[in-house]
Structure 1
Amino acid sequence: MSEFPRRTVDRHYADGAWTADTIAGLVARQDRDRVAFVAPEGTFTWGEYDDLSSRLARSYADSGLAPGDRLAVLLTGGALTHIAYLAAQKAGLVTVGIGPRAGDAEVTHLLRATGAAGLATRDVHRGRSGAAIARQCGARRHVLLDLDALPPDGLEQPRGLGPDDLFFLNSTSGTTGVPKCVRQTMNNRKFFGPLAHAAGRFGPDEVFASMLPAPYGFGLWSAHVVPAMYGYPTVLTAEFDAAETLRLIEEHRVTVLCAVTAQFIMLLNAPEFAAADLSSLRVLFTGGERVPLSRAAEFEERTGCAVLQFYGSNEAGPISVTTVDDPRERRLGTAGRPIPAMNVRLVGEHGQVAARGPGCTPGYLDDAAANAALFRPDGWLVTGDLAGLDDDGYLSVTGRVADFIIRGGHNVSALVVEEAVGSHPSVAQVAVVAAPDPVLGERACAYVVTRAPLTLDELREHLDAAGVSKQNWPEHLVPLDRLPVGTGGKVDKASLRADAARRFTGTEELLPR
């Protein structure tokens, strides 16, 4: 049953934004002898991917799972992740995607919130027994995922999930509280395909590499959906490692790399970067968080590829996109032009981004309060981001409604401070959060990974010389060897805020240097 009203479905089909294709159908029509995945488990053709997912679908049915059930899947990256997702679609199951580094509390919450009929894992997940995790988290059943133990024949299912059915529940990244479950249909995620194809000017022989956790929006479209739409082989890793990623790009002549901002910055910072042959790269799709202009420019200069981004969210889908045809200052200095079909508008006094289009989720699962905050009464989805449009129609994100430092009653954008700090040549990566202050309420605290030692006074001299307004200077500087990363691959600002609260109120147990 469609997750959307009939009139919405009809409209998006009529304008060509949605199609009747399922992901299973897209996989089945690819050349069975061509490579689909290069993964830690081995190399899989499209035919093997199709057959293995059908056999796993039978295994799901044999274990007592019935169409309409929800199956939580907890896996590190690799081909098995996509086989498990596709098998669920063929068996009529809704996948509950759980980030590979989710802790027991998060897994328990997601199992309960979704009413999942079971938890599927490998025998061992990140050093722990999968069965033990299932017991600890209260799963109704544990489903062991083992490609060597599948039944010989696949499930004969006349119709699995349709393109407008609920097919996936992915959680918010969990960095701001208890994760909410975002409902997804295949057509929501397929909407990225033609947009990415046009933005990157894809040819017939692209080689993808997706370094993202598969359950989240970026990982889902870049590894599970778009390659299946166009038959592109996709290189996968179990978990992101900068040196291994560089080796894989070189070995497999990757042309399209998909990585969140923190990951591509880690690639730049890796000692192996200088010696790696990255000449095959044409496009880097990045985002998920602020893309620092100076580091994006550095990546382009050192690789020769174009750095592109979709601006959007797990809930909204793609809102705007930069393309290889955009002037460099627009491509790197803005979030691109809004996507016409998404009907983007800026609402409210400060220009909050809102959208209503074919990439938008039908809403959160069983969460009326969260849906009331996500959707305005007139049906427009509001993102929580603040933005502006220039005279040429390019959108620039200026901050988040909740990502401000309130210093003496004045709102300071963490995004603006990060951009300023990131312009110092010694700063490799930065994240800015509010630190408590007994007089002013909050002060801006910059957590930095540096190429060379840097003091707060040296940073202030640089910002002064660059003409940065003093209100946008950080008042604390904390050097770290690396910034903490959350389950979705983004910088974990929640842990930084907690550290700042402890650090500047004299509490012990700080983040390690």
Structure 2
Amino acid sequence: MSVAFTPWPADVAERYRAKGYWTGDPLTDVIDRHRGAAAEATAILCGERRFRYADVQRLSARLAAAFRARGLRPGDTALVRLPNRAEFHLVFFALLRCGVVPVNALNSHGLYELTAYARQIEPKLAVLAAGGAADPLAARMAQTVGPERLLLLGPPAEDAVGGFAWADGDPLAEDDGEPGHAADPSGVAFFQLSGGSTGTPKLIPRTHDDYLYSVRRSAEICGLDGSCRFLCALPAPHNFTLSSPGALGVFHAGGAVVMAGDPGPATCFPLIARHRVTWAALVPPMLSVWLEAVGGGEDLSSLEVVQVGGAKLSPAVAERVPERLGCRLQQVFGMAEGLVNYTRLDDDPWTVVNTQGRPMSPGDEIRILDASGHPVPPGAVGELWTRGPYTFRGYYKADAHNARVFDAEGFYCSGDLVSLAPGGNLVVCGRNKDQINRGGEKIDAQEVEDLLAAHPAVSHAAVVAMPDAVMGERSCAFVLAPPATKPSELRRFLRGQGLADFKLPDRFVFVPDLPKTAVGKIDKQTLRERVKTEFAFMETTAT
């Protein structure tokens, strides 16, 4: 399909251009702006491979030429699922050059999630790291887009583009193509994935204009320059890892991105020492693992800043960062829908430890409202509403949902419960939406419940968050099923549906009935209270 979507009201777009937030440049500018001598600087380090800015320009242009040779045109859509390798960025820039609009799925997403995304965007191209055309996921995507438009990533090669092969067996085009771009900067550049609170994650259209502003402003707030070496250890498609300031912010500043296959200390500590990494981004559970692992003689002396986001960080853990890791902490509270908050690098220690930052742009507008829609006083908890030059104006093909989460003035209801601290910083207090934040990975309870209900032995299921000392939250499924039903059986069933492993319930509780509200709905608040009382901070492996 071709994306036909108007993301911003014309008067709002004109206002943001007049203020200089939007410059009319494509997202590929973060790479292409480095010309001349700057093009020789290192852009990506991935295993034993080094990519200069000139290499990223050339190789992404070559991939773009291959896509155009297969008939892809501006406005077409693509479904991408790649691991943390340099090729993720090469494909991303190649698609931007073609004007092809991708959904970048997480490498942990399975057939269930990818099939759902394909239904929404009807892709003309799929790019996967798979075991070959016989791989079940690759086979399904070949049926969706045709084998001539299924590009498979193989083992790393000396020439990065040589690691790709079309599923129909034809070689990749050798033409390097032109490094320009074919997209309208005011149009949709790519789709981000929502955290997912009402079914399969909804698609967030991000334009070149709004996303590039977010990247530029993030790099400015964080003071990045060409000396930065950023560890990309969390999934590369995450908004945090991509743009806060993430890889794109580092590219904009002329620094280098160091790709890590996973965020564990066994992988990351040697990379930090080898490449003299200066910046790293983590979610709270992995920060705790790093803090416990440090002390074995590893050289982390190059680290200047560790950012933490994706979930609320405990002040007790935050206080340990300078002493244990020998660097500064920056808290980041952002969302794929737009608004990003940072503690500043010159904030006082109390602010850095106890708040999740303040909005990065003078164009950001926030409201903290009570259940009746009235502003709460400073320090009181309310629901966060926001709008601004990089906060979107509507999910893709979701008019009914958009009507619920946007007000008449274009403010977006994030579902986050926050309070306002002195100095304008936000303190995150929880969520209003039916969502579980498992170590930074968002799980939609309804999605898992619907799949469980499809099991022949399950008459009903309710999934709620369960507090956990390491992950922040884990998931607990209350299930109505015969006594003989086993958690292992339900897990196998969910995996068989293609559900990502991180979405599998951590605990199953079999119950004869589920509590109801006065209007007959499942009373999840009662279930959450039961979880806190009976299971909080307990070992969550299934029995």
- Normalising by structure 1, we get a TM-score of 0.77
1:118–1:150 distance in 2 versus 1, CA, 3 Å: closer
From 400, 403, 413, the equivalent of 1:372 is 403
Q: Alignment identity in percent?
A: 26
Aligned to 1:160: 182
1:279–1:3 distance in 2 versus 1, CA, 3 Å: same
Aligned to 1:25: 29
CA contact (8 A) 1:436 1:504 kept: no
CA contact (8 A) 1:55 1:150 kept: no
Aligned runs of 1:91-240 on 2, under 5 Å?
91-122=98-129, 124=131, 128=135, 131-135=138-142, 138-141=144-147, 142-145=149-152, 147-148=161-162, 150-156=172-178, 159-174=181-196, 177-221=199-243, 222-240=245-263
- Partner-residue secondary structure (3-state), 2:234: coil
The alpha-carbon deviation at position 260 of structure 1 amounts to 2.4
Residue 372 of structure 1 aligns with an amino acid whose one-letter code is A
CA distance in 1, matches of 2:393, 2:174: 38
- Partner-residue secondary structure (3-state), 2:64: helix
CA distance in 2, matches of 1:179, 1:55: 32
CA distance in 1, matches of 2:76, 2:279: 35
CA contact (8 A) 2:291 2:324 kept: no
CA distance in 1, matches of 2:180, 2:123: 24
1:342–1:125 distance in 2 versus 1, CA, 3 Å: farther
CA contact (8 A) 1:317 1:361 kept: no
From 352, 356, 367, the equivalent of 1:331 is 352
- Partner-residue secondary structure (3-state), 2:507: helix
Aligned runs of 1:361-400 on 2, under 5 Å?
361-400=392-431
The alpha-carbon deviation at position 124 of structure 1 amounts to 2.9
CA distance in 2, matches of 1:376, 1:357: 14
The alpha-carbon deviation at position 187 of structure 1 amounts to 2.9
CA distance in 2, matches of 1:223, 1:234: 9
Aligned to 1:448: none
1:174–1:39 distance in 2 versus 1, CA, 3 Å: farther
Moved more, 276-285 or 260-269: 260-269
CA distance in 1, matches of 2:39, 2:128: 27
Over aligned residues, Cα RMSD in angstroms?
A: 3.4
Gaps of 5+ in 2: 154-160, 163-170, 372-380, 437-463, 481-497, 515-539
CA distance in 1, matches of 2:479, 2:66: 57
CA distance in 1, matches of 2:512, 2:304: 45
Aligned to 1:431: 473
The alpha-carbon deviation at position 133 of structure 1 amounts to 4.7
Residue 343 of structure 2 aligns with an amino acid whose one-letter code is T
Aligned to 2:18: 14
The alpha-carbon deviation at position 201 of structure 1 amounts to 3.2
From 256, 279, 302, the equivalent of 1:280 is 302
The alpha-carbon deviation at position 269 of structure 1 amounts to 3.6
Aligned to 1:3: 7
CA contact (8 A) 2:133 2:139 kept: no
Aligned to 2:46: 39
Aligned to 1:250: 273
The alpha-carbon deviation at position 293 of structure 1 amounts to 1.6
Aligned to 1:299: 321
1:336–1:358 distance in 2 versus 1, CA, 3 Å: same
CA contact (8 A) 1:267 1:273 kept: no
Gaps of 5+ in 1: 406-413, 423-427, 439-486
Residue 308 of structure 2 aligns with an amino acid whose one-letter code is T
- Partner-residue secondary structure (3-state), 2:22: coil
CA contact (8 A) 1:435 1:500 kept: yes
Aligned runs of 1:304-315 on 2, under 5 Å?
304-315=326-337
CA distance in 2, matches of 1:64, 1:171: 26
Aligned to 1:452: none
CA contact (8 A) 2:330 2:342 kept: yes
The alpha-carbon deviation at position 203 of structure 1 amounts to 4.1
Aligned to 1:461: none
Q: Deviations over 1:378-403 (max 9, x none)?
A: 21011001111133322111111136
CA distance in 2, matches of 1:404, 1:219: 21
The alpha-carbon deviation at position 434 of structure 1 amounts to 6.9
From 485, 491, 499, the equivalent of 2:507 is 499
The alpha-carbon deviation at position 75 of structure 1 amounts to 0.7
The alpha-carbon deviation at position 495 of structure 1 amounts to 3.9
Aligned to 2:541: 511
- Normalising by structure 2, we get a TM-score of 0.73
Q: Deviations over 1:474-513 (max 9, x none)?
A: xxxxxxxxxxxxx9x9x95x544x625449999xxx8358
CA distance in 2, matches of 1:399, 1:197: 28
1:157–1:237 distance in 2 versus 1, CA, 3 Å: closer
The alpha-carbon deviation at position 199 of structure 1 amounts to 3.8
CA distance in 2, matches of 1:213, 1:225: 14
CA distance in 2, matches of 1:501, 1:177: 22
- Partner-residue secondary structure (3-state), 1:170: strand
